[in-house]
A and B are shown apart, each in its own frame.
Chain A
Amino acid sequence: MVKQRVQDWQPTKDERLLDQIGWASDLVKAKRLAKKHKRPLFVFTYNGSTTRAHAIALQRC
Chain B
Amino acid sequence: MRASSLSNKKVIELLNAHFLPVYVDSTYLQANADTDTVELAAYRDLFAELNRANEQRRKAGERRLSTGTVHAYVFAPDGRALDSRHVAHAGPASVIEMLEGAVTTLKVAAGKPIVAPSSQSPRPDCADDALTLHLTARYLVPSNSSEARQDVKGEFVPLDASRLGGERSGQWSALPSEDWYVLERQEWSRLLPNARVAVGDSWEVDLKVAETLLTRFYPTTELNDLNKNRLDERSLKLTALSVEKDRVCARIDGRLKMKHPFYPGRDDNNFVNATIIGLIEFDSAKPHIHSLQIATDGATYGVNGKRLQQFGVAVRNVR
A39 to B14, CA, bound (A): 12
Residue total for A at the interface (Cβ-Cβ under 8 A): 56
Whether A45 contacts B26 by the Cβ 8 Å rule is yes
Q: Which B residues between 1 and 46 are near A, CB-CB below 8 angstroms?
A: 1-2, 6-9, 12, 15-16, 18-28, 31-32, 34, 36, 38-39, 42-43, 46
Whether B12 contacts A17 by the Cβ 8 Å rule is yes
Q: Which A residues between 7 and 40 are near B, CB-CB below 8 angstroms?
A: 8-12, 14-31, 33-35, 37-40
Q: Which residues of A contact B75 (CB under 8 A)?
A: 34, 40-41, 43
Residue in A closest to B71 when the chains form the complex, CB atoms:
A45
Q: Which residues of B contact A54 (CB under 8 A)?
A: 25
A56 to B114, CA, bound (A): 21
Whether B73 contacts A42 by the Cβ 8 Å rule is yes
Tell me, rounded to whole Å, the shortest Cβ–Cβ distance linking B154 to chain A.
8
Residue total for B at the interface (Cβ-Cβ under 8 A): 93
Whether B20 contacts A30 by the Cβ 8 Å rule is yes
Q: Which residues of B contact A3 (CB under 8 A)?
A: 279, 293
Residue in B closest to A11 when the chains form the complex, CB atoms:
B176
Q: Which residues of A contact B222 (CB under 8 A)?
A: 47, 60
B108 at the interface (CB under 8 A from A): yes
A54 to B36, CA, bound (A): 13
Q: Which residues of A contact B43 (CB under 8 A)?
A: 27
Q: Given A2-B277, A2-B278, A19-B120, does the pair A8, B158 have CB atoms closer than 8 Å?
A: yes
Whether B70 contacts A39 by the Cβ 8 Å rule is no
Q: Given A40-B108, A45-B69, does the pair A50, B74 have CB atoms closer than 8 Å?
A: no
B238 at the interface (CB under 8 A from A): no
Tell me, rounded to whole Å, the shortest Cβ–Cβ distance linking A58 to chain B.
5
Contacts A/B (CB < 8 Å), 28 sampled:
A6-B315, A9-B158, A14-B164, A15-B161, A15-B176, A17-B6, A17-B9, A19-B119, A22-B114, A26-B36, A27-B24, A27-B46, A28-B38, A35-B77, A38-B77, A40-B102, A40-B106, A41-B22, A42-B73, A48-B224, A50-B28, A51-B28, A51-B225, A54-B25, A56-B2, A56-B120, A59-B2, A61-B87
Q: Which residues of A contact B26 (CB under 8 A)?
A: 45-48
Whether A44 contacts B21 by the Cβ 8 Å rule is yes
Q: Which residues of A contact B227 (CB under 8 A)?
A: 51
Whether B114 contacts A40 by the Cβ 8 Å rule is no
B138 at the interface (CB under 8 A from A): yes
Q: Given A14-B7, A17-B9, does the pair A24, B20 have CB atoms closer than 8 Å?
A: yes
